[in-house]
Chain A
Amino acid sequence: GQNIDQPTEMTATEGAIVQINCTYQTSGFNGLFWYQQHAGEAPTFLSYNVLDGLEEKGRFSSFLSRSKGYSYLLLKELQMKDSASYLCAVVDSNYQLIWGAGTKLIIKP
C-alpha cells in the first residue's frame, strides 16, 4: 500500500528553527508537495520538489531524497503565525496526490 508518515504534532519556540520530516512509500514518484493549513482554513501551497536537494524560499526550505523516500520542511525564524498544520503529499505513478495526515506545529512565545 501507499503510505506517508509525518509526526502528528511538534512544538517550537518563536524565533527558533524547526524541521518537519516526511517519509513515504508510494507506487512511483513524480514529485512531493508541502502545504500549510491554518486551523479552519484551506491548505495553501508552500513548495514542490521533484529532484533531490534543498530548495529555499525565504524562511522556508524543503529538502528531498528520493533514494531514501524522505523529505523535510525547514522553518527558520519562527513566528507565531507559523502555527499551523503542515501537509506532505506525494505524486504517485498515476499522477495522483497521496496526502499525509499532517503535522500540527505549535509555536510558543
Chain B
Amino acid sequence: TAGITQAPTSQILAAGRSMTLRCTQDMRHNAMYWYRQDLGLGLRLIHYSNTAGTTGKGEVPDGYSVSRANTDDFPLTLASAVPSQTSVYFCASSPQSVPAYGYTFGSGTRLTVV
C-alpha cells in the first residue's frame, strides 16, 4: 500500500540521548514535512523539504535537524533530547510544496523523553 512509513511507532528516550525518527514515502512526492502534535495545540511544523537536497526551518526547529538525501527519505534527528520534546511526531508529504494538493500523513511516532 502506497503511503508514508514512520519508525519507530513509539519510544522512551533518556534525556541527553540522541535519536533519529525515520520517515519513508513511496509516492514520489516532492515535499515532505515534520510536525509535532501536543495536547491542546495545533500541529506545529518543525522542518520541511520542498524537494530532495533542500530543507527549511518551520515554526519550532530548535533541537531538531533533518536531511533530504533523496526523494523518499526524510529523517528527523534529536541531537540531545529534552523532556519538552515529549510529543507525537508526524511526517507528512505532498506532491508539491504548494499544499493545495493536501498532505498525506504517516501514522506517527510517540516519543517520551524522561
Flag if A97 contacts B99 (CB, 8 Å).
yes
Q: Which residues of B contact A100 (CB under 8 A)?
A: 42
Flag if A43 contacts B102 (CB, 8 Å).
no
Flag if B45 contacts A96 (CB, 8 Å).
yes
Flag if A43 contacts B42 (CB, 8 Å).
no
CA distance A30 to B99 in the complex (A): 9
Flag if A101 contacts B108 (CB, 8 Å).
no
Q: Which residues of B contact A42 (CB under 8 A)?
A: 90, 105-108
CB contact under 8 A between A99 and B100, given known A41-B107, A42-B90 = no
Interface residues of B in 85-114 (CB under 8 A from A): 90, 97-100, 102-108
A93 contacts partner chain B, Cβ-Cβ < 8 Å = no
On chain A, the number of residues with a Cβ less than 8 Å from chain B's Cβ atoms is: 23
CA distance A102 to B90 in the complex (A): 16
On chain B, the number of residues with a Cβ less than 8 Å from chain A's Cβ atoms is: 19
CA distance A96 to B108 in the complex (A): 21
CB contact under 8 A between A95 and B45, given known A43-B105, A45-B103, A101-B40 = no
CA distance A106 to B61 in the complex (A): 34
**Which one of A30, A50, A96, A98 has the greatest number of beta carbons of chain B within 10 Å?**
A96
B41 contacts partner chain A, Cβ-Cβ < 8 Å = yes
Q: 7 nearest interchain CB pairs?
A: A99-B42, A42-B105, A99-B43, A45-B102, A101-B42, A43-B105, A42-B107
Q: Name 20 A/B residue pairs within 8 A (Cβ), A-sorted.
A: A4-B42, A30-B100, A33-B102, A42-B106, A45-B102, A45-B104, A48-B100, A87-B42, A87-B43, A89-B43, A91-B99, A91-B100, A95-B97, A95-B98, A96-B45, A96-B58, A97-B103, A98-B42, A99-B43, A101-B42
